[in-house]
């Protein structure tokens, strides 16, 4: 009998960690939703905005690289080539990376409004150089 796959870390912690990875690469307008009670395919969703196609692809690449480091399962990705809407499937967490116009058009947050919002950590502070203190 095959063993069931359990998340390596609790889903809520995974969501917050993935959000931090997106913040590292300057994703904007991050939102996370707990959709466990209203969706049969995933537990949570993260929605982020990228400034352009290159940044959208860099965000997806960064998430996948970090998942590999953490040994998180990666089930698939769609939309990478055009970058308008990249979907990264991490099993219990779906990551939606949109360019601004596409995000407004598809309104993922509105579609899944029945899911509760997950509080995300603040973006890490950018370290100041000593030269800035002298000014």
Q: Please check whether residue 132 lies inside any domain of the structure.
A: no
Q: Please check whether residue 41 lies inside any domain of the structure.
A: yes
CATH for 60: 3.30.460.10
**Sheet strands side by side (includes 93-99):** 76-78, 85-89, 93-99, 44-50, 28-34, 116-117
Could you tell me the pLDDT band of residue 115, with boundaries at 50, 70 and 90?
Answer: confident
Average pLDDT score over the chain = 86
**C-alpha span between 53 and 43 (Å, rounded):** 27
pLDDT at 58: 97
Q: Please check whether residue 6 lies inside any domain of the structure.
A: no
Helix (H) or strand (E) holding 104: helix 100-106
> What is the model's pTM?
0.84
Q: Please check whether residue 128 lies inside any domain of the structure.
A: no
Domain span at residue 30 reads: 11-120
Domain count, the chain: 1
Helix (H) or strand (E) holding 28: strand 28-34
Which residues on adjacent β-strands are paired with residue 86?
Answer: 97
pLDDT at 2: 44
* Contact indicator for 48, 20 with CB cutoff of 8 Å: no
pLDDT (tens digit, 9 = 90+) per residue, 17-73?
Answer: 999 999 999 999 999 999 999 888 899 999 999 999 999 999 999 999 999 999 898
């Amino acid at each position: 009998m095959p063993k069931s796959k359990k998340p390596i870390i609790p889903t809520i912690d995974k969501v917050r960690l993935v959000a931090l990875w997106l913040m590292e690469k300057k994703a904007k307008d991050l939102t996370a939703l707990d959709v466990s009670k209203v969706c049969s395919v995933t537990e949570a969703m993260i929605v982020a905005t990228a400034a352009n196609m290159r940044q959208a692809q860099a965000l997806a690449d960064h998430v996948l690289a970090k998942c590999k480091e953490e040994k998180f399962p990666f089930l698939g990705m769609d939309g990478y080539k055009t970058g308008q809407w990249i979907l990264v499937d991490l099993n219990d967490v779906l990551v939606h990376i949109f360019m601004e116009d596409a995000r407004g058009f598809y309104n993922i947050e509105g579609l899944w409004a029945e899911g509760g919002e997950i509080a995300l950590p603040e973006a890490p502070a950018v370290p100041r150089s000593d030269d800035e203190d002298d000014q």
